[in-house]
């Protein structure tokens, strides 16, 4: 058995995650990527694609982090590695400020400069990106992503798989539905339905988005 962490993904998000895990004193043993060409990312070797996950689990890896920016893929792979017996770890920057009453799931990324306030809940596989501010009693659903600089006032609910682009702001008690996408710089002043794209200030629904398959 090893305490080293297996990271799924080898792109820009994985780079940030490797540094977050290292900052927390953890060792990233290898990367799994759809492109298994041997190479290194920040000194960590790519050791195969997801076909190797089972053998690596049997070989002693027990901890994994899914560093894939695509929300749906991150959720799918998170569930897959858990089914294989991996434990999902969190990657939380020491430069983030987390309320002691905030609730955290597993497999979540919290980047530098983030503030998460009292009794907010961050569900499994969510990304709270650089400098985002999540105020009291917010709920961030499974595998959602608040991009850099997002500001969520109190009691905001973000549905599973939703994506809030860079610099979004959301006023108190608003709900953003499952798999909704909010464009960069939008100001959300009213509920955004699930599976829609919303843009602008104030944010307006621009179009519908296809719902993910029920099994995803």
Active centre residues (catalytic)? 136
74, 156, 82, 95: which is closest to 121 by C-alpha? 156
Interface of this chain with ligand COA, residues 27 to 56, rule: CB under 6 A: none
State the binding string over 87-106 for ligand COA (x if CB under 6 A, else -).
Answer: --------------------
Vertex 72: Cα angle to 69 and 76 (nearest 5): 105
Backbone angles phi and psi of 14, in degrees to 5:
-60, -40
Residue 147 contacts ligand COA per CB under 6 A: yes
Backbone angles phi and psi of 106, in degrees to 5:
-120, 155
User: Residue 200 corresponds to which tokens in the numbers above?
Assistant: 């602008």
Q: Which of 85, 103, 200, 202 binds ligand COA (CB under 6 A)?
A: 200
* Closest separation in Å from C-beta 197 to ligand COA: 6
* Closest separation in Å from C-beta 56 to ligand COA: 28
User: Residue 158 corresponds to which tokens in the numbers above?
Assistant: 């973000």
Vertex 196: Cα angle to 120 and 115 (nearest 5): 25
* Closest separation in Å from C-beta 92 to ligand COA: 17
Minimum CB distance to ligand COA smaller for 71 or for 129: 129
Q: Which residue is nearest to ligand COA (CB)?
A: 183
Alpha-carbon distance of 124 to 90, in angstroms, equals 9
Residue 150 contacts ligand COA per CB under 6 A: no
Contacts with ligand COA: how many residues (CB under 6 A)? 11
Interface of this chain with ligand COA, residues 165 to 194, rule: CB under 6 A: 165-166, 181, 183-185
Pairing outcome for strands 2-8 and 28-32: parallel
Q: Which of 22, 36, 199, 204 binds ligand COA (CB under 6 A)?
A: 199
Helix (H) or strand (E) holding 145: strand 145-146
Chain residues in the site for ligand COA (CB under 6 A)? 129, 147-148, 165-166, 181, 183-185, 199-200
């Amino acid at each position: 058995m090893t305490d080293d962490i297996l990271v799924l993904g080898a792109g820009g998000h994985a780079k940030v995650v490797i540094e977050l895990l290292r900052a927390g004193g953890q060792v990233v043993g290898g990367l799994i990527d759809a492109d298994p060409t041997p190479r290194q990312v920040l000194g960590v070797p790519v050791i195969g694609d997801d076909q190797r996950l089972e053998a690596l689990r049997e070989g002693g890896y027990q901890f994994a982090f899914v560093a894939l920016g695509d929300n749906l893929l991150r959720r799918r792979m998170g569930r897959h590695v858990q089914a294989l017996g991996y434990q999902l770890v969190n990657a939380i920057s020491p430069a983030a400020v987390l309320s002691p009453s905030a609730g955290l799931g597993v497999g979540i990324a919290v980047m530098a400069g983030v503030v998460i306030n009292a009794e907010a809940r961050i569900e499994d596989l969510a990304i709270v990106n650089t400098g985002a501010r999540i105020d009291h009693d917010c709920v961030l659903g499974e595998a959602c992503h608040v991009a850099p600089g997002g500001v969520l006032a109190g009691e905001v609910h973000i549905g599973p798989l939703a994506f809030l682009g860079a610099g979004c702001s959301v006023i108190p008690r608003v709900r953003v539905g499952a798999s909704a996408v909010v464009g960069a710089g939008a100001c959300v002043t009213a509920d955004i339905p699930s599976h829609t794209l919303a843009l602008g200030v104030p944010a307006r629904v621009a179009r519908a988005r296809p719902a993910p398959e029920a099994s995803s």
